[in-house]
Structure 1
Amino acid sequence: MSTAPTVTPKTAGTPKPIAGRDLLVAVGVAVLVYAFTIQFVPLLKSEPVTGAGKQLVLIGYLAANLAAFGAAVSALLLRDPGYTWQDLGVRPASDIWKRRAVLFGLAATPLAFAAGLFLRRTFDLDPPAIDFFAPDDFSWVAAATIVLYGGLLVPMFEELFFRGAVYSWLRNRLAAASAIPLSALAFAVVHMRIEVMVVAFAMGCLLAWLYERSRSILPSILLHQTFNTAQLAFVYGAVALAPDRSGLG
């Protein structure tokens, strides 16, 4: 007679594995919230379209992303029985991994710009909509809001979702060599544009590797925030120093 498998109870300090159905619920919540909130973005457009108006539309898209991933993370935390922040990777990290995260983020910025430019020229892709980031007659207050959303808040919740939940779910079932590229692929798909997807896949691999090695989501969040903020700082720094923005695309 076979005996029923024993279930090892979770010990104190041990992260709770992400269940597949819970991850599926989180994904569904993210899709529904994004589909709902994105309907309001066109309402932000004004006639005639002004520089600040274009930035407001971009802020609307960033807010929709923030709402979607924030809702997905909340869905996991509020499950009954739910998960804790520790289960999503929010654990102490050593200073060396934090320093490495910042350095990796800064080093990746020029590489990402170069890769994006190479891919656009090689495959004759349309340039990014830089006019929404830095249009003529734009608002520095709106620019600061874009940095807050795109540079700090959205990366934080993307990491909690893609590394803290998606990668953790994959890692509990696969070796790191398989889980890292698969989670990076999921991360890349949501970025839509071809050249951005290529860069996002590479970044997703780096972010998952960093999470795997540091055993904390904090360095991944820091790297992602550094990378996004550095890119935005480059764009707005160029605007401040050179009013002609034709070379930013």
Structure 2
Amino acid sequence: MSIPGAIGWTVGVTALFLFLLGLISSFRMEPALDGAGSFRAAPKLDVIGSFACQAAAYLLGLFGVLQVHAPRASIRQFLGVRGTHVAFYPLAIALGFALEGPIAALYTAIEGRWPSGIDDAELVRVFVDASAPERAALGLIFIVLGPALEEVFFRGALVRPLRWTHRAPLVIAITAALFAVAHVGWQKFLPIGIFGAALGVLRIASGSLLPSILLHGTYNAIQCFSLLSAAGAGAADGAPSAAGAALPDAAGSPVWLVAVSSASALVLTALACVLGRRAEGAARAREKDLS
């Protein structure tokens, strides 16, 4: 796969996702007051519907990549769903915790300087209004299904065909950049790009998709816990005030804590690279990526 090809697949998948999202949004409107005091139609946040659109777009993209680049390959082997050295799994969890602080602080700083207009309170309100089964479904999407879906496309469908023709550092950089751009909103590009680079390093070093899914899920689990905490606080104050709730302010974290988290993330990433070079299980898994 060429770099323009990877860009084309990502643009196509993202465009299809946004088209489907816009399609269902036109059928899901709720009344809201505008600045003049009159009612207008406003889109209602639908996490489950959004995930369904994303899943449809990404899975169609995966099918297309398979048909074009590896029509006879085993889907599991093509995506890299294979075992690797066992140390990569706890390392992925630790890296997920380490990355949360610096990435959240960076995004909050960018938002403070150049606001995107995205309000976390709406997502908190979704959790406040949700029943227990609905919260379980939202948690499943945020922590398991969403991370797995994105990793299957970016670190699965794109990484292996790119590795056939490009060196690992370039593949990591390209997939991280495409991962960032696919999330739309330029304020997110740098934080998500850094996160994507860490995911790519873990994927390439381990030779397996599983550690990157675990890292992604761990990071999202921390975000989900923050949402549940904010939702719990909003519910305690009453549902009407929940819409004014907000996620914990990452910029308010002590500087030393962000610095320690950043250093830990760098050390863990370097450790993943060393482990990938020295562990036999990782070496065998990486050989399958190049075959």
TM more than 0.5: yes
1:34 to partner: Cα distance: 2.1
Instruction: Give 2:26's match in structure 1, choosing from 36, 42, 56.
Output: 42
Residue 185 and residue 23 in structure 1: after superposition, are their counterparts in 2 closer, same or farther (change >3 A)?
Answer: closer
Amino acid across the alignment from 2:164: N
What is the deviation of 1:24?
Answer: 8.2
1:70 maps to 59
Q: Flag structure 1 segments of 5+ consecutive residues without an equivalent.
A: 1-17
Matches within 5 A, 1:214-229: 214-229=206-221
1:100-146 alpha-carbon deviations (Å, 9 max, x no partner): 1111112212222211111112x231353213311285214443332
Change (3 A) 1:131 1:187: same
In 2, Cα distance between the equivalents of 1:132 and 1:62?
A: 16
Alpha-carbon contact 2:3-2:162 (below 8 Å) kept: no
Q: 1:23 to 1:196 in 2, by over 3 A?
A: closer
User: Within 1, Cα distance between the matches of 2:99 and 2:87?
Assistant: 18
- 1:199 and 1:126 map into 2 onto residues whose CA distance is 14
SS in 1 for 2:158: helix
Distance 1:116 1:25 in 2: 27
Correspondence 1:85-104 to 2 at 5 A: 85-104=76-95
Counterpart secondary structure, 1:46: strand
* 8 Å CA contact retained: 2:13, 2:57: yes
Aligned equivalents of 2:195 and 2:7: distance in 1?
24
How many residues align? The count is 227
CA contact (8 A) 1:77 1:85 kept: no
1:30 counterpart = 2:13: yes
Question: Which residue of 1 is the match for residue 285 of structure 2?
Answer: none
Deviation at 1:228, TM superposition (A): 1.3
Query: Matched residues in 2 for 1:22 and 1:81: separation?
Result: 20
Change (3 A) 1:180 1:19: closer
- C-alpha separation in 2, matches of 1:160 and 1:63: 15
Query: Does the Cα contact within 8 Å between 1:22 and 1:76 map onto a contact in 2?
Result: no
Alignment partner of 1:114 is 2:105: yes
The C-alpha deviation readout for 1:30-76, integer Å capped at 9, x for no partner, is: 35642552211331233469xxx944x23222221122112222344
Pairwise CA RMSD = 3.0
| 2:139 paired residue number | 147
The alpha-carbon distance between structure 1 residues 58 and 45, as it changes in their structure 2 partners (threshold 3 A), is farther
Paired residue secondary structure (1:43): coil
